[in-house]
Amino acid sequence: MNCTECGQIVRYDRSRGQSTTLVGYYSADGHDHDDNCIVREYVCQNGHRAKLSIINKCSTPGCGWSGKASCFCSYKIEAWPEENAQ
């Protein structure tokens, strides 16, 4: 993923760790419909920062549940940039 300000590649800033929102939720037995945001901060070589989180999905086969595609706390993406690079 590239920086929206300068186009350079962004990297996960591990020194800041990750945070999670703490909103209660309910899932049927055998499902995981947790729509809390796991937020990571990314930085490019020019120092521009972006907060990203993935769109959650239920891992139960046949379940099409997907979490919200936008959030007030971060920009939502399908997968972490470092996972797409492999």
Give tens-digit pLDDT for 61-85: 999 999 999 988 889 999 998 876 5
Q: Is residue 45 part of a domain?
A: yes
What integer pLDDT is reported at residue 28 of this predicted model?
84
Q: Please say if the pLDDT value at position 86 is more than 90.
A: no
What integer pLDDT is reported at residue 18 of this predicted model?
92
What integer pLDDT is reported at residue 85 of this predicted model?
58
Q: Is residue 1 part of a domain?
A: no
Q: How far is the C-alpha of 16 from the C-alpha of 79, rounded, in Å?
A: 19
Q: Is residue 70 part of a domain?
A: yes
Q: Is residue 52 part of a domain?
A: yes
Q: Is residue 59 part of a domain?
A: yes
Domain span at 51: 11-20+31-81
Q: Is residue 2 part of a domain?
A: no
Average pLDDT over residues 6-27: 90
Cβ atoms 76, 53 nearer than 8 A? yes
Number of domains in the chain: 1
Average pLDDT over residues 49-57: 94
Cβ atoms < 10 Å from Cβ of 24: 6
Q: Is residue 4 part of a domain?
A: no
What integer pLDDT is reported at residue 82 of this predicted model?
80
